Amino acid sequence: MSDIIQLLPDHVANQIAAGEVVQRPASVVKELLENAIDANATSIKLLIKDAGKALIQVIDNGKGMSETDARFCFERHATSKIKTAEDLFNLQTKGFRGEALASIAAIAHVELKTKQENQELGTHIKIEGSKIISQELVSTSKGTSIAVKNLFYNIPARRNFLKSNTVETRHIIDEFQRVALVHPAIEFSMYHNENEVYRLNDSNLRKRIVAVLGKKTNEKLVPIDETTDVLTLTGFVSKPEFAKKKRGEQFFFVNNRFIKSAYLHHAVTSAFEGLLATGYHPSYFLYLTVPTNTIDINIHPTKTEIKFDNEKTLYAIIRSTIKHSLGQYNVAPVLDFNRDATMDTPYGFKDKTVYKEPVISIDRSFNPFENESSKSTRFSYKKEKSQQWESLYTDISIPKINTRQQLFTNDSITAKTHQVHRKYIVSTIKSGVIFIHQNLAHQRILYEEYLENSTVKEAMSQQLLFPLEINFSKDDIKLIQEIQYDLESTGFLFDKIKGEMIVVKGVPTTITESKITVILEQLLDDIKNEIPDTSFSQLDIVAKSLAKSMAIKTGTQLSTEEQEDILERLFACKEPNHSPFGKPTFISMELNEIDKKFGL
């Protein structure tokens, strides 16, 4: 028999490697930024178009490449960073496998311009799908520019797999931030579709953190600083009173590399023990330096996990260092978890004078269940059926089996209800009893209301007496701009969304003023984390997130009237059976099932 084994052609091997290295535009961003840093750049510019799907370009002023190296850098395992296997155990640079550029060039249109200090002219190379298209001399400044266009152009399945621009941009910003946060002395800028997203001057760590995450971060930071034989730990944690309901700003860097470690995360949070109300998370920016031979560097290039030789020691030191710093900064005694949040002055509001005639005053203690007049509008079940609205449902595959008519004896629900354990509403139905989960049911109700408001009806909005200014980081502002339309269709009204601030002048009638900030933060967090990732549109995410935040919580006492209202509205829903996140909203028990239990 003839031999059948063949070596894979290079471009095929490269494509396979690319699958590992390049998952999405953000992976390219990471690789290119890291290469620029390894090249000792002091100024790095990132240009993105269409969330990186059309263009990712990194321009640096680093050491550049010779003509030969410029050609060679696209070869697999071409790296200037390790020479022997031994080097692997002493890695100081970011890249080392020599796979990134070869992988990227295999699945995109890449253009490289590079020049070294001593060269008069630089090298300009175009390469597409691993094939060199052209190579010329070019007049360019010292350093390297790599433009990656049409990512995955030759792997349509991959390209189609990419998420929405919002999500992909979020991933890119994450990578950008992670790199920018470890190199405060390097100047970074980022542009998306020609708009400046970041301009970070060279500075110190604290200023860099503030520049990346927004001005309001500054007052929150408690410095951490410890040097022992096994590690150096520097950075900042947030003061406990600034802890967030979301996990957002948590950064751990080991030897200048962003990592995720549930174990070390636990070390940090345990240092906050007793200082945080349940459900609140501290922010942290921690920089750990350990001898390179005590960590496992043989990690996958795109993975952020890491293995330490002496995890337990690190845990103990991290925990006690943070505890100590928190104590030193005397942040513990001022805490009062039970204070009334509605009494707090909103951000940026303290020093404001009234600059506008109030248009409509609102009831600050608005409670839909107490207010008869609002009830008449909110509690109408008339629904103009609409194809458009219908089509908004992702889970149309779930059969709608429980209509009001099927469950209840007559058209209107007259059955008595009871609330049990401030959690379930129990009611009699034709065939037995049902238990309705008050929180999940209300989520469904609100979710459908938001969707309906935004497609069929004008959303109901209540004007704020005084427009509310809220500060956000620049990239949060960008996100808000992107979902502005969806937010407005649920009843939000904005005066301004710019720089690091938004001005809210109206909110959905279901939201109280004191909750606005928390709800928006939660919403942004949900979008960033893309929960639920089954969502097909931003509007859907917005509706889901708002429904989740606004729904009556478990533990809330409900009057009979309120219970009946939930029942009524739930079964006026199109999909009463499930919460927007797919959990059952109620369970029913047939009489004969109950009978059986009695042996009848």
- Residue closest to ligand ADP, measured at CB: 95
Beta bridge partners of 143: 115
**Shortest approach of ligand ADP to residue 290 CB, angstroms?**
22
Q: Rounded to 5 degrees, what angle do the CA atoms 593, 594, 598 make?
A: 115
Q: How far is CA 314 from CA 132, 250, 261, in A?
A: 48, 18, 12
Nearer to Mg ion, 44 or 100 (CB): 100
Token pair in block for residue 391:
């089509």
Beta bridge partners of 189: 45, 199
Query: Is residue 444 within 8 Å of residue 576, measured between CB atoms?
Result: yes
- DSSP letter for 381, please: -
Which DSSP string corresponds to 459-528?
PPEEEEEEEEEEE--HHHHHHHHHHHHHHHHTT-EEEEEETTEEEEEEEETT--GGGHHHHHHHHHHHHH
User: Which residues, at least 6 apart from 390, have a Cβ–Cβ distance to it below 8 Å?
Assistant: 574
Selected range binding ligand ADP among 1-9, 90-98, 386-394, 420-428, rule: CB under 6 A:
90-98
Residues 406-445 that bind ligand ADP (CB under 6 A): none
Q: How far is CA 381 from the centre of its chain?
A: 35
**Shortest approach of Mg ion to residue 381 CB, angstroms?**
60
Q: Is 208 a residue that touches ligand ADP (CB under 6 A)? A: no
User: Which residues, at least 6 apart from 423, have a Cβ–Cβ distance to it below 8 Å?
Assistant: 437, 438, 439, 554, 555
The Cα 370–Cα 368 span in angstroms is 6
Selected range binding ligand ADP among 76-84, 172-180, 223-231, 513-521, rule: CB under 6 A:
76-84
User: Residue type at 494?
Assistant: F
**Shortest approach of Mg ion to residue 112 CB, angstroms?**
13
Nearer to ligand ADP, 35 or 439 (CB): 35
Q: Is 200 a residue that touches Mg ion (CB under 5 A)? A: no
Choose, by CB under 6 A, the member of 22, 65, 286, 445 that binds ligand ADP: 65
Selected range binding ligand ADP among 28-36, 351-359, 431-439, 520-528, rule: CB under 6 A:
28-36
Helix axes 538-550, 516-529, angle to 10 degrees: 130
Query: Is residue 565 within 8 Å of residue 446, measured between CB atoms?
Result: no
Q: Is 249 a residue that touches ligand ADP (CB under 6 A)? A: no
Selected range binding ligand ADP among 60-68, 207-215, 281-289, 466-474, rule: CB under 6 A:
60-68
Selected range binding ligand ADP among 62-70, 147-155, 305-313, 438-446, rule: CB under 6 A:
62-70
The binder of 60, among ligand ADP, Mg ion, none, by C-beta within 5 to 8 A per type, is ligand ADP
Alpha helices in 108-236 (DSSP H): 156-161, 165-182, 205-213
Q: Is 14 a residue that touches ligand ADP (CB under 6 A)? A: no
250-254: strand order across its sheet: 221-227, 232-238, 284-289, 250-254, 257-259
Choose, by CB under 6 A, the member of 14, 15, 27, 35 that binds ligand ADP: 35
Query: Is residue 389 within 8 Å of residue 570, measured between CB atoms?
Result: no
Peptide bond into 9 cis (omega under 30): no
Residues 91-110 that bind ligand ADP (CB under 6 A): 95-102
The binder of 73, among ligand ADP, Mg ion, none, by C-beta within 5 to 8 A per type, is ligand ADP
Selected range binding Mg ion among 35-43, 134-142, 249-257, 565-573, rule: CB under 5 A:
35-43
Residues 108-167 that bind ligand ADP (CB under 6 A): 144
The binder of 79, among ligand ADP, Mg ion, none, by C-beta within 5 to 8 A per type, is ligand ADP
Choose, by CB under 6 A, the member of 31, 168, 187, 562 that binds ligand ADP: 31
**Shortest approach of ligand ADP to residue 87 CB, angstroms?**
11
Query: Is residue 236 within 8 Å of residue 206, measured between CB atoms?
Result: yes
Selected range binding Mg ion among 61-69, 91-99, 207-215, 219-227, rule: CB under 5 A:
91-99
Residue for token pair 């009843």: 491
Query: Is residue 42 within 8 Å of residue 186, measured between CB atoms?
Result: yes
Q: Is 267 a residue that touches ligand ADP (CB under 6 A)? A: no
Sign of CA dihedral 514, 237, 186, 95: negative
Residues 96-125 that bind Mg ion (CB under 5 A): 100
Beta bridge partners of 195: 192
The binder of 62, among ligand ADP, Mg ion, none, by C-beta within 5 to 8 A per type, is ligand ADP
**Shortest approach of ligand ADP to residue 496 CB, angstroms?**
39
Nearer to ligand ADP, 71 or 163 (CB): 71
The binder of 476, among ligand ADP, Mg ion, none, by C-beta within 5 to 8 A per type, is none
Nearer to ligand ADP, 68 or 353 (CB): 68
Q: Is 302 a residue that touches ligand ADP (CB under 6 A)? A: no
Nearer to Mg ion, 95 or 580 (CB): 95
Q: How far is CA 418 from the centre of its chain?
A: 39
The footprint of Mg ion (CB under 5 A) covers 35, 95, 100
**Contact residues for ligand ADP (CB under 6 A)?**
31, 35-36, 39, 60, 62-65, 73, 78-81, 95-102, 144
